[in-house]
A = this chain, B = another copy of it.
Amino acid sequence: MERTGEGVCAPKGFSATGVACGLKAHGRRDLALIVSKRESSAAALFTTNLVCGAPISVSRQHITGGVARAIVVNAGCANACTGARGVADAERMCSLVAFGLNCPPQQVLVASTGVIGRPLPMDRIERGIEAALAEVSKDGGAAAADAIITTDTFPKTVKRVLSVGGHTVTIGGMAKGAGMIAPRLATMLAFITTDALLAPEDARALLRNAAETSFNRLTIDGDTSTSDMLTLLANGESGAPALKPGTDGYARFAEQLTDACRELAKMIARDGEGATKFITVHVSGAPSNEDAHLAARTVAESPLVKTAFFGGDPNWGRIAAALGRSGVFFDPGRLTIRVDDLLLFENGMPAAFPLAAAEEKFREKVIAIHADLGNGNGEAEVYTCDLSYEYVRINAEYTT
């Protein structure tokens, strides 16, 4: 029986690796390859940023076939704002992998992350792809997850298992995040694999649905990247029957897929650039779920809210101010705000809480903000982190 691997290698029939080809400093791994032993149903979501990287353009075209064998990813250079040369370089990355695997280039997806506006050093990339093709194995999941990170402080992998018709179906995944994170339809980079058997159109529907309450509920700094990409490869190696919409197995798979995506999204928030705290913003009582999402996102992206939590300063008025400017309608006289279980503001008036209790809540490492707008049944949750000196340092020195 096939061993189970880590992250994207957890499902049957997937192998991977991460190698160092000289894009990152200090000989760190910077090129990852994920390979399915057979053609997989493939779905992907991409950044909605108009200024998108060349790999986005190329992968967006390749995914139209609904089938993929491999994904090649480099970190250290985003290959964005690089014009026609960038597109040719991204195409060449796919062709080199396809040649090694003896498949059409259209069955290879490509992703890049790193500095915008610089061309890829293709000689290094070519040597890296050659090495990755030689090394790819069931044991390479951790190395692949390590290769795709940039300012992340830890690699992010996930695994979920369910039983379908007596067969074990596995979902594996990896992601990178850290900065320029405010995904709209995808996230920086996240790759999900599964040995479930799925039609390409079902893979697309499942992925879109899972992203909606996971990666699309995540913001580090409000800066939607040029390079966001989220993929799902399903190779059917589990032996389980095809998962069809409307069946119990499909519903359970959807639940596990969403859960896996949400775990990766939360890891990205926890590891946001310079983050010292993980913050969940939960808004209820909004006119609609979309309104609740907008209100929660406005709080999550407020630099004043984020710096208050960094400083452990119980300046809860900033939460009220952010909600008030969010564009969502409510009556401030019905607004209620809690941090964890501590009531701070109730129906438009400060609650009677001891300042020391509020200070303690704002100093926690894991924080849940709850705001009830008192104007409907809409509800949503957004994941974020605080804004620290370290975020400023990292981004003031990024390219130099």
**Which A positions have Cβ atoms within 8 angstroms of B?**
48-52, 78, 80-83, 115-118, 179-180, 182, 184, 221-226, 301-304, 307-308, 310-318, 320-325, 329-330, 332-333, 335, 345, 348-350, 359, 387-389, 391-393, 395-400
CB contact between A335 and one of B51, B335, B393, B398 (< 8 Å): that residue:
B51
List 6 tightest A-B contacts by C-beta distance, closest first: A116-B317, A311-B396, A51-B324, A307-B395, A117-B317, A224-B325
A313 — which chain B residues lie within 8 A by C-beta? 395-400
Assembly CA distance A308 to B3 (angstroms): 46
CB distance from A120 to the nearest CB of B (A): 13
CB distance from A85 to the nearest CB of B (A): 8
Say yes or no: B399 contacts A349, CB within 8 Å: no
A83 — which chain B residues lie within 8 A by C-beta? 333, 348-350
A303 — which chain B residues lie within 8 A by C-beta? 221-223, 303, 387, 391, 395
CB distance from A51 to the nearest CB of B (A): 3
What are 22 A-B contacts with C-beta separation under 8 Å?
A49-B324, A51-B323, A80-B321, A81-B317, A81-B332, A184-B325, A222-B301, A223-B302, A223-B304, A223-B318, A226-B321, A307-B392, A308-B396, A310-B396, A311-B396, A312-B396, A312-B400, A313-B397, A314-B399, A387-B392, A389-B393, A391-B392
Assembly CA distance A192 to B324 (angstroms): 27
A179 — which chain B residues lie within 8 A by C-beta? 304
CB contact between A315 and one of B323, B332, B399 (< 8 Å): that residue:
B399
Copies of this chain present in the complex amount to: 2
Chain B residue, CB-CB nearest to A388: B392
Assembly CA distance A330 to B50 (angstroms): 8
Say yes or no: A116 contacts B320, CB within 8 Å: yes
Say yes or no: A223 contacts B321, CB within 8 Å: yes
Of A50, A307, A323, A332, most buried by chain B (CB within 10 Å of CB) is: A50
A392 — which chain B residues lie within 8 A by C-beta? 307, 310, 387-389, 391-392
CB contact between A320 and one of B81, B317, B348, B391 (< 8 Å): that residue:
B81
Say yes or no: B82 contacts A325, CB within 8 Å: no
Say yes or no: B221 contacts A115, CB within 8 Å: no
Contacts known (A115-B315, A345-B81, A389-B389); A396 close to B307, Cβ less than 8 A: yes
Say yes or no: B116 contacts A318, CB within 8 Å: yes
Chain B residue, CB-CB nearest to A84: B349
Chain B residue, CB-CB nearest to A180: B304
Assembly CA distance A71 to B78 (angstroms): 54
A391 — which chain B residues lie within 8 A by C-beta? 303, 307, 392
CB distance from A168 to the nearest CB of B (A): 41
Q: Please name 8 further chain A to chain B contacts, defined as beta carbons within 8 Å, in addition to the given A52-B332, A83-B333, A222-B302, sorted by A numbering.
A: A51-B325, A81-B348, A83-B349, A116-B315, A226-B321, A303-B395, A312-B396, A313-B395
Assembly CA distance A245 to B399 (angstroms): 53
